[in-house]
Structure 1
Amino acid sequence: MAISVETFFLNPDAEGTLQAKIQQMIAEGILSGRFRKGEKLPSSRKLARHLGVSRITVTLAYTELQASDYLEARDRSGYFVSQNAPEPPEFDARAPGRDTIDWSRALGRRFTGGNTPEKPQDWSRYRYPFVFGQTDPSLFDHANWRHCALQALGQKDFQALTTDYYDQDDPKLIEFILRHTLPRRGILAQPDEILVTMGAQNALWLTAQVLLTQRRTAAIEEPCYHALRDILMQSRCYLASVDVDRDGLPPADLPRYADVIFTTPSHQAPTNATMPMARRKALLEKAREMDALIVEDDYEFEISFLRSPLPALKSLDTDGRVIYVGSFSKSIFPGLRLGYLVGSRQFIRECRALRASVLRHPPGHIQRTAAYFLSLGHYDSLIRRMGQVFARRRQVMEQALADHGLGVEGRGVFGGSSIWMRAPDGVDTAELDERLRARSVLIEPGQPFFRGPAAPRNYYRLAYSSIPSERIPDGIAILSEELAHLRRLAL
């Protein structure tokens, strides 16, 4: 690969001759890692013209760098970064002390400090990855997704690929969601009542920005999806946590002053509790009494392999007070970052305007690829295949957990992809996670799902979406051993 001549600039503060400055510029590029071994440098003529110096000056600089083993010359091809060039240091090679800004004063707002955990990017190298929300490459329909992507890149779809939708979305994707996805949840909507988002988290952020102020209160489940809590804390609204039970969010425990209620009725995150029909109706009635809005995060309804899911809260809503959040990132793959919001026209209009000011719209070719994947039936086939495999994995996991006497705290009534667990009192699952990683086992500690410094530390989540059935028993056996060890230490 050739290094662009536009990346070369002489440092006006550098000392020495022009030749020395050019040598320093190239050597710093190699030492910083910007120029890599085997990359071709611009010709002496081209670099001289770009820098406004004589060609002989550049040639002499190249010759000196070749003598120092920074560069190597190849017959009739020019100069390249030498294979024997010094390795870039692992630390930041910038000169210290350049940043003189007092960022504690300069930052107007802070968005760090939340409780969202850092998930390992190398999860697939672990032999027993009980991790939530990742894609199993053995289940994904690579061939048909590639075919749909190529179709979306074709001349026929040139407009969808290249157009600036500004604040609009791909009409093919909107049509599929309206005609196929939402009716499966009992929801009927119009095109101006739906907005495509960059995943469910982006949908929740847009919702919080539009609905909440510093004077309003959001009611959230305890425990709840940790990223939602971070979003709401950044909005500076008041937060009221409501403890969930085996049926999810109890309407009777909601504070009367709440303005917006966030809930996950189909698969409570993270306990997997499923809200029964009577409670769903009671929640709608309670929200009506309070004149509150409800945000329904239906993040995993497709993974219902035990029996058909209950109708969405949105389908039971007769007042327009429920805002529905859906996502394809859990069912297709998380890197897709494609979700959607369904709500009243006035609400969607404001979310659309906010989205346009931040990112305009999700990339057109991603929307069109997803639209083809959905409309050609590949998505339904993928969901059926996942359901069959997940049912088997869940059966194996439940048997392994029972064999070792491990405490199951919550299962999804209709399916899902994980089981909520409780370790013995005194066991810190963050410490358990550390010990398990050394034995190639990944779990998800539960403490980030709870609010405050007094949050319980003995919960954890086991997912079966990314681990083959045959590995589950051995992974659970290792988990049981480490739990027993930590329990003995806690006594």
Structure 2
Amino acid sequence: MAIISEHHIFLPEDANVGLQTRLKDAITRAIWDRRFAPGDRLPATRALAQHLGISRITVSLAYESLLSTGYIVSLPRSGFFVASDAPTQMEVSPLGQADDAARLDWGARLGPVPPALGAQASPADWRRYRYPFIFGEPDVARFPVDDWRDCVRRGLGKRHFEQVADDASDRDDPFLVEQIVRRSVSGRGVAATVDEVLVTAGAQNALWLTVQVLFGGKGGDVAMEEPGYPELRNLLRQQGLTIHPVPVDRDGMQVDQIPDGVRAVFVTPSHQAPTGATMSMARRRALLERAEASDFIVIEDDYDYEMSYASPSLPALRSLDQQGRVVYVGSFSKSIFPGLRLGYLTADARFVDHARAVRTLSERHPPGLTQRTVAYFLSEGHYNSHSRRMRTRMARRNEVLRAALAENGLTPALSRATGGTTLWMLGPEGLDADALAVALREKSVLVEAGSAFYGCEGAPRNRLRLGFATIETARIADGVALIAETIAEMG
């Protein structure tokens, strides 16, 4: 039950309608709209009359009318409350054609909704599935909640509360920026300064800011991996950019296939999304040499780099960059938990200045408490400890998943990988992975059909991405058996 403030009740401005009727209609509409919910207590008649500048008897008569029509109830010595069975708008006044005709046709004005989330996005009810082979959801049972809670408490302590509570304008938490420089990008071989780092609302926000800075809605040609990250493809299309898909193999993006004339190239070199391939050192150097020769910018999304467990991770592209051509994008949203929505970019300080100005136009800066909490999580060593435990767990799950696939006659696309939390799988020729994903839901199995990651016509239909960050290790084998069984049933 909530107490409705008198400040939440407004009289419609219609001089042709009496005050009592206007007040009754205002409360009725609020109940219809569910702004006033069943059980909520209405303001006292004296307080509401004083707030609205009308007589108390007018308020009392409006309440009596609402009582008689069943919208509110009166409890002795307690006041007036919204009735638990108050009529809805559809019960008393169904919307007619005249009402619909009077409403603005937003569909005609705006056109179709642009694609945003890719088709690989996890369903909201994924936790009810017994075998969730999906990416991007947290393994909350093993997250160090007590350590995180301690960091939140420290962020809210009196010593730092002003920093968290102040309007920071366009500034980031200096403690977090310091930790990113010392403990995040430095681990990737990147020697950044604090003026070369911008905190963002996750990697997707960093990519959006980068596109705004580089192109500003003016169009242009860009290259990205094929298959590749669907949300990036949707972003580039929405900004009116011409996308040139570049194929990938076991060594990552095929640099020699990048066409002339592109102004930017987007890559995921640590663990290519979605295949999991790691860009070889030779390819990394070739990409930077091509960037210099063709004068384009490289946007490095260092996706899933923390999960390198089969072999040491290779240096970030930005650490090899001698010309300042690489914009490096990192994120804590997957390595800590997705709901955090916190990431960063590091680039030349002049690029960061532009990105900061663009960010200010939409959100000013990420929430201060979130930034300070993550800063403590990094500085206290909790992040590194959590990442080590995750790497050990993911290495074991990768091993179990590959063994289960082999036992059931299924084939991973890469014979080996340096790590990651997903596995790209090749199904039999003729398999429709989209239909397979639908059929598997009936068996409580979630998989990601590979078609979501392709932008070209005629893309192969027999690819699957199997995530193993969320599914329990003990359930992997049974889940794979169900996948194999369903593929066999589909012929």
Same fold (TM over 0.5): yes
Residues of 1 paired with 2:438 and 2:207: CA distance? 31
- State the match for 1:175 in structure 2: 178
- State the match for 1:41 in structure 2: 42
Q: Which amino acid aligns with 2:114?
A: T
Whether the 8 Å contact between 1:115 and 1:226 is mirrored in structure 2 is yes
Range that drifts further, 461-470 or 439-448: 439-448
Q: Which amino acid aligns with 1:56?
A: I
Whether the 8 Å contact between 1:32 and 1:89 is mirrored in structure 2 is no
- State the match for 1:265 in structure 2: 269
Residues of 2 paired with 1:89 and 1:386: CA distance? 52
Helix, strand or coil for the counterpart of 1:138?
helix
Residues of 1 paired with 2:13 and 2:218: CA distance? 49
The counterpart of 1:186, out of the listed 157, 165, 189, is 189
Residues of 1 paired with 2:169 and 2:22: CA distance? 46
Matched, 1:146 2:149: yes
Q: 1:110 to 1:177 in 2, by over 3 A?
A: farther
Q: Which amino acid aligns with 1:455?
A: A
Residues of 2 paired with 1:78 and 1:233: CA distance? 56
In the TM superposition, what is the alpha-carbon distance from 1:23 to its structure 2 partner? 3.4
Q: After superposition, give the CA deviation of every residue in 1:410-460 in whole Å (9 maximum; x if it has no partner).
A: 477221111112222333222222222222221112212111343333222
Whether the 8 Å contact between 1:428 and 1:458 is mirrored in structure 2 is yes
- State the match for 1:451 in structure 2: 455
Range that drifts further, 325-334 or 152-161: 152-161
- State the match for 1:124 in structure 2: 127
Helix, strand or coil for the counterpart of 1:470?
helix
- State the match for 2:426 in structure 1: 422
Whether the 8 Å contact between 2:265 and 2:299 is mirrored in structure 1 is yes
Residues of 2 paired with 1:377 and 1:51: CA distance? 56
- State the match for 2:346 in structure 1: 342
- State the match for 2:252 in structure 1: 248
In the TM superposition, what is the alpha-carbon distance from 1:255 to its structure 2 partner? 1.1
In the TM superposition, what is the alpha-carbon distance from 1:322 to its structure 2 partner? 1.4
- State the match for 2:168 in structure 1: 165
In the TM superposition, what is the alpha-carbon distance from 1:172 to its structure 2 partner? 0.8
Helix, strand or coil for the counterpart of 1:96?
helix
- State the match for 2:234 in structure 1: 230
- State the match for 1:389 in structure 2: 393
CA RMSD of aligned residues (A): 2.4
Whether the 8 Å contact between 1:195 and 1:340 is mirrored in structure 2 is yes
Helix, strand or coil for the counterpart of 1:287?
helix
In the TM superposition, what is the alpha-carbon distance from 1:207 to its structure 2 partner? 1.1
Matches within 5 A, 1:12-411: 12=13, 18-86=19-87, 95-101=99-105, 104=108, 106-107=109-110, 112-113=114-115, 116-117=118-119, 118-212=121-215, 214=218, 216-410=220-414
The runs of 5 or more residues in structure 1 that have no matched partner are none
Q: Which amino acid aligns with 1:58?
A: V
Q: Which amino acid aligns with 1:167?
A: D
Range that drifts further, 208-217 or 306-315: 208-217
In the TM superposition, what is the alpha-carbon distance from 1:177 to its structure 2 partner? 1.1
Residues of 1 paired with 2:332 and 2:43: CA distance? 46
Residues of 2 paired with 1:37 and 1:281: CA distance? 65
In the TM superposition, what is the alpha-carbon distance from 1:163 to its structure 2 partner? 2.1
Q: Which amino acid aligns with 1:54?
A: S
Residues of 2 paired with 1:297 and 1:403: CA distance? 34
Q: Which amino acid aligns with 1:53?
A: I
Q: Which amino acid aligns with 1:269?
A: A
Helix, strand or coil for the counterpart of 1:97?
helix
Range that drifts further, 339-348 or 2-11: 2-11
Residues of 1 paired with 2:112 and 2:179: CA distance? 39
Q: After superposition, give the CA deviation of every residue in 1:464-484 in whole Å (9 maximum; x if it has no partner).
A: 111111122222222222222
Range that drifts further, 11-20 or 162-171: 11-20
In the TM superposition, what is the alpha-carbon distance from 1:358 to its structure 2 partner? 2.0
Whether the 8 Å contact between 2:431 and 2:462 is mirrored in structure 1 is yes
Whether the 8 Å contact between 1:301 and 1:309 is mirrored in structure 2 is yes
The runs of 5 or more residues in structure 2 that have no matched partner are none
Q: Which amino acid aligns with 2:208?
A: W
Q: After superposition, give the CA deviation of every residue in 1:282-336 in whole Å (9 maximum; x if it has no partner).
A: 2222222212221111021111122221111111111211111111111001111
Q: Percent identity?
A: 46
TM-score (norm 2): 0.92
In the TM superposition, what is the alpha-carbon distance from 1:60 to its structure 2 partner? 3.0
Residues of 2 paired with 1:93 and 1:384: CA distance? 59
In the TM superposition, what is the alpha-carbon distance from 1:344 to its structure 2 partner? 1.2
Helix, strand or coil for the counterpart of 2:304?
coil
Helix, strand or coil for the counterpart of 2:234?
helix
Residues of 2 paired with 1:440 and 1:102: CA distance? 38
Residues of 2 paired with 1:471 and 1:224: CA distance? 28
Whether the 8 Å contact between 1:32 and 1:93 is mirrored in structure 2 is no
In the TM superposition, what is the alpha-carbon distance from 1:214 to its structure 2 partner? 4.1
In the TM superposition, what is the alpha-carbon distance from 1:268 to its structure 2 partner? 0.5
Residues of 2 paired with 1:339 and 1:137: CA distance? 20
Residues of 2 paired with 1:225 and 1:102: CA distance? 30
Helix, strand or coil for the counterpart of 2:308?
coil
The counterpart of 2:474, out of the listed 437, 459, 470, is 470
Residues of 1 paired with 2:31 and 2:145: CA distance? 38
**Number of residue equivalences:** 484
Whether the 8 Å contact between 2:422 and 2:467 is mirrored in structure 1 is yes
Whether the 8 Å contact between 1:265 and 1:296 is mirrored in structure 2 is yes
- State the match for 2:7 in structure 1: 6
Q: Which amino acid aligns with 2:188?
A: R
Whether the 8 Å contact between 1:204 and 1:228 is mirrored in structure 2 is yes
Whether the 8 Å contact between 1:408 and 1:419 is mirrored in structure 2 is yes
Whether the 8 Å contact between 1:411 and 1:418 is mirrored in structure 2 is no
Whether the 8 Å contact between 2:224 and 2:243 is mirrored in structure 1 is yes
Whether the 8 Å contact between 2:272 and 2:303 is mirrored in structure 1 is no
Whether the 8 Å contact between 2:219 and 2:239 is mirrored in structure 1 is no
